[in-house]
Each structure stands twice: as C-alpha cells, then as structure tokens.
Amino acid sequence: MKIGLVAVGQAGGKIADALLRYERSAGVEIVADAVAVNTARADLLGLQEIDPERRVLIGGDRVKGHGSGADNELGAELAREDIGEVRDAVDAIPTSDVDAFLVVAALGGGTGSGGVPVICRELRRIYEEPVYALGVLPAREEGGIYTLNAARSLKTVVEHADATLLFDNDAHRETGESLAGGYGRVNEEIARRLGVLLSAGEARDPTPEKVVDASEIINTLGRSGGVASLGYASAPLERKRGLFGGRKRIEEDALESTTRVTATVRRAALGGLTLPCELPDVERALVVVSGPPETLSRAGVEDARRWLEEATGTPEVRGGDYPLRDTDHLAAAVLLGGVTEAPRLAELRAGAVEAQRNVAAIAERAELSGGIWEAEGLDPLF
Ligand code: GDP
C-alpha cells in the first residue's frame, strides 16, 4: 500500500524521516512522496530524508519561523491561514500512485497538534483517497498542557480523519530511558511497524500465499473516524550454516513454525500495541506475518486469525503473509481498527478536563486580582 505522507511539526518530521529511511533500507516502496509542514524553520532544516522542495514553512509572517511553542490553537490558526501552501505541496504528490494519505504528528505540542486536524479536513475535502492520521500521545510526565493539547487535538482529529492510529510514547519507553533520549529508537519502532504493515500490501517476490492488499488495510482502519492501534512482535530464527559456512535455509518442522507464528501474533496483539487496549474493545483486526517463506506456516496464520476472531469477538479479522528472503526474524504486525476504549484514552480525557479547569481557574484568578503579579508584593521596574 502506497501512502502520500504529510508530516506536521517536529515529531511528525522526524517520524517521516524514519519511515523514509526504513523504506530505503528494506528496499520497499511504500511512500509515494512526503511533505513536511512546520512553523519552525530550524526543524524543517534539520530533516534529512524529505526533499527540501517539499518542506513548507507556515505562519512565517506571524511567528517568523520560530514555531508555535506548545500553543495548539496558534498551530491550528497558522495551518488554516496557510492551508493553500500545504495544498500546493501535497498537490505535487502523484495521486495516481497513492492508496491513502497519512498525516503524522505528535498531538501534545503546538504545530502538529493544531495542524493535523486542519490538514486532514482539507485533504479529505479535496481527495477521494482515505486520509489517516498518525498521532503520538505525550508522556504523562510532560504534564497538564501537553495532556490538554493532545485530548483537544484528538477530539478534533477523529472528526476530520478517516481513522487515527495512535502511538503512546509512554508505552514504548524503556526502563531508565529519558524521554528525549528515546525518541530516535521510538521513531524507528513506529517506522518498522508501519513499514511491515504497508509493504504487505505491495506486490513482491517471493509471492505470498495469502496477499494482504491495500483495501484490506483500508477496511480494517475504517473510514468513520475510529481510533486504531498497531501491534508488533518478532521472534529470532536460527539459521543453520551450510557446509562451507554459507547461509542455509531455515529447516524446521511444520508444528514448530505453526506454534511460532501463533505465539508471535499473540505477543503482538497482547503486549506490543502502539496504544494498549483490550481485544474485546476493537471492531476489526488484520494480521500480517512476515519472515522467510519456509517459516510462514499457512496453518499458523489461519490459527492466529481464528484466535483473534475469538479474542476480539468480531468476525471481521483479516490475515495474510509477507515473505522476506533475507531475514533472521519472524515478525507479526496486528492492526486493530475501531478501538472503542483504551485505558490511556480514559486517563487522557480525565487529565485534560482537570488541566482545562486549572487553566480556567488561573485565568479567573488573574482577572479577579487584576493581574497575576498583583498580590506578590513585587515592585515593577518602572
Ligand atoms: P510541534 O513541533 O509544535 O508540533 O511539537 P512536537 O512535535 O515537538 O510535539 C511535542 C510532543 O511530541 C511531546 O509530547 C514530545 O514528547 C513528543 N515528541 C517530540 N519529538 C518526538 C519524536 O521525535 N518522537 C516521538 N515519538 N515523540 C516526540
């Protein structure tokens, strides 16, 4: 499946860069073209993979290329004002090659958080292809404003995107890792997951036993504004050496490969989700298993699909395989569409309501006292 990629804000740009790097290193074609949109000139200049001609600075007249801070109302306003420039850049993407658009951003900041719903709405107005959002949720430690930004942005994005795939930064932190220190690894993780899912929909050699085509990914994500989560897990394979030290085929019995496939799919769906959720809380699912052809047990993929049907309680579970010759891993990607509830979303909503109340209370106090410094006993400079 080929996407037209639109990256908004700092995190959006870095994730798009990671996806383009994945595409190159895996030798697949999943991005028809990529556009980066930002209010911060330095962030656009720092991108490595996106064509400089496809980088759009918005709000230049107002914020002079310095970004929108963490003000997502400003981010949305600047995107609305300069939407024509975003439209022109996206227009250059060859849409005959595009199965869907993917608009990528972090929802907790300013530019991406405010820009994503505006850009999704505009693309959906113009194009027939589905418009999906990939939104990164902030970590808890980032506090109330990031939580409030993410919740308000998400509430608006689900109105304007065909579906929103969420990635919870907190669920992917490694023990002891600082938030910013982990971004590079986390972005590669997002890219690998998306990469495996999207490349499954592309024609390839060796030919899969059961191809997953773009329409199956689209049907699983849905087009009615749902939330999606993407699970991933992999298992190392032992490749025996040939007589002269060369790499040999992986030889194993059918039962072993069936068990490995089902166990890997379970791990992806139960513990490896971008947005952790309970399986009965999803409406649709798609499983893709990739690895060397001899390890892709047909029975395993079918067993895993049936297990997902039971665990989710929905008959809408699709499945297929994606053979790769040069890998020492078996990997499973599980896409869950129509997620109706998730603990992190409930927490985000509650945190956002509280943060909104605090912001309102501070504003009210400031108004009552005539200014936030009034009662401090500080003398002004002049
Ligand atoms: P914007 O440029 O105003 O849209 O702001 P950012 O894209 O920097 O969004 C801030 C949010 O994104 C915070 O919740 C950060 O934790 C998160 N963030 C920033 N950079 C990255 C990144 O490279 N990867 C990921 N996954 N999250 C990031």
Q: Could you give all domains of the chain from N- to C-terminal order, each with its CATH number? A: 3-200 (3.40.50.1440), 214-337 (3.30.1330.20)
Place of tokens 């900041």: 109
User: Could you give the CA distance from residue 181 to residue 93 in angstroms, rounded to a whole number?
Assistant: 33
Q: Per-residue pLDDT for 289 more than 60? A: yes
- The ligand 1 atom at the shortest distance from the C-alpha of residue 110 is 3
For residue 292, the tally of other CB atoms under 10 A from its CB is: 20
Please indicate whether residue 325 or residue 235 has the higher confidence score (pLDDT): 235
Ligand 1 pocket residue status of 22, Cβ below 6 Å:
no
> What does the pLDDT look like over 194-218, one tens digit per residue?
999 999 877 667 788 888 999 999 9
Distance 114 CA to ligand 1 centre (A): 13
Please indicate whether residue 369 or residue 166 has the higher confidence score (pLDDT): 166
Ligand 1 pocket residue status of 183, Cβ below 6 Å:
yes
User: Residue 252: pLDDT band by 50, 70, 90 thresholds?
Assistant: low
Average pLDDT over every residue of 269-294: 95
Mean pLDDT estimate for the chain? 91
Q: Are 166 and 135 in contact (CB under 8 A)?
A: yes
E strand intervals along the chain: 3-8, 31-38, 55-57, 100-106, 131-137, 163-168, 226-236, 284-291, 317-323, 329-337
Place of tokens 């930002």: 38
Ligand 1 pocket residue status of 17, Cβ below 6 Å:
no
Distance 140 CA to ligand 1 centre (A): 13
Name the strand (E) or helix (H) holding 122: helix 111-126
Q: What percent of the chain has pLDDT over 90?
A: 76
Q: Per-residue pLDDT for 106 more than 60? A: yes
Distance 232 CA to ligand 1 centre (A): 22
The closest of 343, 298, 292, 337 to 314, measured between CA atoms, is 337
Q: What are phi and psi of 177, to 5 degrees?
A: -85, 135
pLDDT at 324: 87
User: Could you give the CA distance from residue 246 to residue 236 in angstroms, rounded to a whole number?
Assistant: 19
Name the strand (E) or helix (H) holding 92: none
Distance 169 CA to ligand 1 centre (A): 9
For residue 243, the tally of other CB atoms under 10 A from its CB is: 6
Ligand 1 pocket residue status of 187, Cβ below 6 Å:
yes
The closest of 195, 285, 8, 231 to 120, measured between CA atoms, is 8
Ligand 1 pocket residue status of 14, Cβ below 6 Å:
yes
pLDDT at 243: 53
pLDDT at 361: 79
DSSP codes joined into one string, 7-65? EEHHHHHHHHHHHHHHHHHHT---EEEEEEEESBHHHHHT-SSS-GGGEEE-SHHHHTT
Distance 18 CA to ligand 1 centre (A): 14
Residue ranges of the binding site for GTP: 10-14, 110-112, 142, 169, 187
User: Residue 359: pLDDT band by 50, 70, 90 thresholds?
Assistant: confident
SS3 43: helix
User: Residue 362: pLDDT band by 50, 70, 90 thresholds?
Assistant: confident
SS3 347: helix
Q: Per-residue pLDDT for 149 more than 90? A: yes
Ligand 1 pocket residue status of 37, Cβ below 6 Å:
no
Ligand 1 pocket residue status of 269, Cβ below 6 Å:
no
CA distances (Å), origin 304, targets 227, 267, 269, 292, 318? 23, 11, 10, 18, 10
User: Could you give the CA distance from residue 61 to residue 65 in angstroms, rounded to a whole number?
Assistant: 8
Ligand 1 pocket residue status of 16, Cβ below 6 Å:
no
- Is the bond preceding residue 206 a cis peptide, omega within 30 degrees? yes
